[in-house]
Amino acid sequence: METTQSHFGQWGYVIIWALLGAVFLLFTPFYKKSQRKPASVYLAFMVAMAFEMFGIPMSMYILAWVFGTSIPEGFFWGHTLVAQFGHLGMYIGTALALLGIVLVVLGWKEVYRRYWSRESGRGELITDGIYAYIRHPQYTGFLLITLGMLLDWATLPMLIMWPIMAVLYYRLARREEREMEAEFGPSYRQYMQRTSMFLPWPKSNPA
């Protein structure tokens, strides 16, 4: 039977989990300078989760030292909401992470084939598929993946890094929108008027 002590110190799992998280960066142009900061924070988030989930639970030790040993097992060790709601946090977190993976892959499929490849020398403005609902499905996907993991297995570094990552992806999205507006002009401005950045909020079509 697995115990709190036997669960940790599994460094092979730490490496595997961190590498699995890093794989999703291949679906973005992470080599671009503008992508490096958010990609770096995302990767640090994944490494921090792997380190505390399978390696050393530093958050549990710190909180136990600050507040004493009365912190229930499962609050900052194991599935975050297990002490309060059973495995609800795990189920919600898994659903969000899976949805995020779908958005990353769908966004990559369209943007790679029709914009990044630039076979005609000019990228195509993509306004259909998943892009008919949100302008940055891949960034939404990364935020959902990491939010799902945060709900499932919260640690102090993850709680600090997630809002930083959200701000960086927001700033990156704004920068890319300025670039797209310069490239496509009125067509992109009209597209912005009928879609939202990250979440598919209903927007009225311009007259």
Q: What residues does each domain of the chain span?
A: 4-194
- When pLDDT is averaged across residues 185-196 and rounded to a whole number, the result is 94
- Which pLDDT value is given to residue 169? 96
Region of 196 (left: φ > 0; alpha: ψ -120 to 50; beta: rest) is: beta
CB-based contact 105:32 (threshold 8 Å): no
pLDDT band of residue 17 (cuts 50, 70, 90) is: confident
- Which pLDDT value is given to residue 12? 87
State in words which class domain 4-194 has. mainly alpha
CB-based contact 126:138 (threshold 8 Å): no
Whether the pLDDT of residue 194 is over 80: the answer is: yes
